[in-house]
Amino acid sequence: MHPVNLLSAAITQHEDRPELPCKPIQGICAITGQQGWCVPRKRLLGKSFTNRDLLARPDSDMVSADAYYALKFKWERMGSWFCDGITFERLTRQDVRTKVFQERMPERWTAYATTSYKKHGSLIAKVNTHDKRMWLFEMRLVDCTNMPQVNEWWNILNAALRAGIGRSVLESLDCPAYVIQKVGLSTWLEFEQWARSKNQSSLYAFLCYLLPSQEELKHG
């Protein structure tokens, strides 16, 4: 199953659902590689589309109705979202955090977290089943399946943030002298030693994104 299949199932029940541009015919979807009801590819992917490497069948001039519904749905390309094939949820950063640490997940789901807009996360996101927890963060896949590890990293990053090491320093590990003086040299060195082998990973970047904002910290 492709993410556009789950998205389409939920979007077709949505009040903002798009309409197909013409009567569909049988064909092979360039995006998913699946055979089914399709519309001309040019009605969805224009000349500005350059990510041919994301297409399962770049030789096809058709796209499925599911792909059309998913990629033409404005909220799919305008922020973070979560979809289980029944509902499509727009997410804030706090919502993403809640979902990531949610104990039980639906039977099937797909999700995308982003700080920007106008990107089609459904082209790269994965459909999760059973105990898999793959998130798409910007254009990087993040494997959160090992939740004990996710919780361990999250607790260490949270402690560092609350000790006074800001998000940008946590991300870059480029710590100004005044921050080291504020938190203490031993605290910084201990954290840096732990983080140095992890800060280039997608999981580390994702967890840094999920950290509480200064406003949240201020209000406890």
Please state the pTM of the whole predicted model: 0.92
Q: What is the mean pLDDT of residues 145-155?
A: 98
**Partners of 129 in the β-ladder:** 108
What single letter denotes the amino acid at residue 108? R
49: closest CA among 60, 41, 57, 40? 41
Comparing 48 with 177, the larger pLDDT belongs to: 177
Check residue 206 and give its pLDDT: 98
* Model pLDDT, residue 16: 80
Residue 96 pLDDT > 90: yes
Please tell me the predicted confidence (pLDDT) of residue 219. Answer: 77
**Distant-in-sequence, close-in-space partners of 156: CB < 8 Å, separation ≥ 6:** 191, 194
Note the pLDDT of residue 47. 84
Band (87; pLDDT cuts 50, 70, 90)? very high
Burial of 120 (0-12, 13-18, 19+ CB in 10 A): buried
Q: Residue 62 burial by CB count (10 A; 0-12/13-18/19+): exposed, middle or buried?
A: buried
Question: pLDDT band for position 208 (50/70/90)?
Answer: very high
Which one has a higher pLDDT value, 217 or 183?
A: 183
Q: Phi/psi at 90 (nearest 5 deg)?
A: -80, 135
Do residues 132 and 144 make contact, with C-beta atoms less than 8 angstroms apart?
no
Instruction: Say if strands 80-83 and 62-64 run parallel, antiparallel, or are unpaired.
Output: unpaired
Residues 36-86 have pLDDT tens digits of 999 999 999 988 888 889 999 999 999 999 999 999 999 999 999 999 999
Is residue 218 predicted with pLDDT exceeding 90?
no
Residue 118 is predicted with a pLDDT of: 77
User: Is pLDDT at 89 greater than 80 in this prediction?
Assistant: yes
Q: What is the pLDDT of residue 40?
A: 97
Collect all residues with Cβ–Cβ distance below 8 Å to 163 and sequence separation of at least 6.
183, 187
Question: Across the chain, what does the average pLDDT equal?
Answer: 95
Sequence spans of domains, the chain: 3-143, 147-218
Residue 119: the pLDDT is 85
pLDDT value for 117: 81
